[in-house]
Amino acid sequence: MLAFLSRSVLLGIATAAILLVAIPELRSQMFTSSVSLSEPDTKLEQISFNNAVRRASPAVVNIYNRRYDADDRLTLSTQGLGSGVIMSDKGYIITNYHVVAQADQVIIALQDGRFFTGQLIGKDQRTDIAVLKIQAENLPVIPLNPRYNPVVGDVVLAIGNPYNLGQTTTYGIISATGRSGMSFYGRQDFLQTDAAINKGNSGGALVNTRGELVGINTASFQQATDIETYGISFAIPYELTHKIMKKLIADGRVIRGYIGIDGREINPVMARLYDADQVSGIIVMGMDPNGPATKSGFKAQDILVEIDGKPVTDMRNVLDIVTELRPGSTVAMKVLRNGKPLILSVLIADEPEVPEPVATSN
């Protein structure tokens, strides 16, 4: 029995030796494996977003909303908390409308320890954006890249001051783009992300892995709906943020065109019901009785297919086109009525102001 085991062991050793001689790669793999057990592989790079955070975080500020005491008009107390982003070396700072809407005074704290009283340049309730300004030198500015187009799956970092803990960075991906109907006040499209956005993060920066601004953090799904959720947060895209900021700096408010119609998208089945070959457009379902559309001769069940030479695809598209029209201008709009085309001239009005909401802080 012992002789049999000895022969088996010797046969195994001999076979292994022959294989190592015949196949050199096995020798290198064997030694590499033994080294990897005792030493870390220096070729593997550690994944870190430290560079992005270092580029972006100095430009993210803490914002404190102060209001006069109801019983003592000489006493200011901090009522709200938020974040903001320095957009230019001239001192312009973007934050959320709901962070500063009810403030009597706004205090801005930079990451280098400096404090300033912020001047409100303008605010826009529909997009939940406000612009502040401070008088300061050597300001850190958030890196901007207008050519960057966020897509689903991009890694993003949310930087802000949640619960006044101090500047905090959370990590996630862009979960969806073009989310609408989630706004407290408006109808703009949001970026959806699973990066955590908590109370105090509002107005802070959502950046990519290069530290470039992707959007302005504005709300979590739970804050918008009171539904207990995790991993669903929203940000206002940089492109919209930049456009609204320029308008607020220029005019102190956002001037939007208004025609006063409500409609629904038309599909091929509805087109046949309305005896219309044109399948791109909206069916007018209702109108402001004192609005421009009513005054220009619009009627319910008209199919709006063109505004100022631009084709209409859906209600969102109508809002986008009309809000860019200058109030006081007259614009030709093409409708189908009983299947026949008709051109109506509409005098564009200024969009009515939205009533101020009850003060909230985030």
**Closest by Cα among 240, 245, 231 to 158:** 231
Task: Please classify residue 166 by burial: count the beta carbons closer than 10 Å to its beta carbon, then call 0-12 exposed, 13-18 middle and 19+ buried.
Answer: exposed
Question: What stretch of H or E contains 115?
Answer: strand 115-117
Q: Could you give the CA distance from residue 304 to residue 311 in angstroms, rounded to a whole number?
A: 9
230, 251 in Cβ contact below 8 A?
no
Is 242 assigned a catalytic role? Answer: no
264 labelled binding-site residue:
yes
263 labelled binding-site residue:
yes
260 labelled binding-site residue:
yes
Q: Could you give the CA distance from residue 320 to residue 123 in angstroms, rounded to a whole number?
A: 19
Is 69 assigned a catalytic role? Answer: no
Check residue 223 and report its DSSP letter. Answer: H
Q: What's the token pair of residue 248?
A: 């607020």
User: Which residue pairs, CB below 8 angstroms and at least 24 apart, start in 286-291?
Assistant: 286/261, 286/262, 287/260, 287/261, 287/262, 288/260, 288/261, 290/260, 291/258, 291/259, 291/260, 291/261, 291/349
- Choosing from 202, 220, 233, 361, the catalytic residue is 202
Q: Could you give the CA distance from residue 337 to residue 310 in angstroms, rounded to a whole number?
A: 19
Q: Could you give the CA distance from residue 265 to residue 164 in angstroms, rounded to a whole number?
A: 45
Is 36 assigned a catalytic role? Answer: no
- Choosing from 83, 98, 183, 233, the catalytic residue is 98
219, 160 in Cβ contact below 8 A?
no
134 labelled binding-site residue:
no
Which DSSP string do the residues of 235-298 spell out, in sequence order? EEEHHHHHHHHHHHHHHSS---EE--EEEEE--HHHHHHTT-S--SSEEEEEE-TTSHHHHHT-
- Choosing from 128, 183, 189, 361, the catalytic residue is 128
Q: Most distant CA pair in the chain: distance in Å?
A: 110
Task: Tell me the catalytic residues.
Answer: 98, 128, 202
Task: Return binding residues.
Answer: 259-264
Task: Return binding residues for substrate.
Answer: 259-264
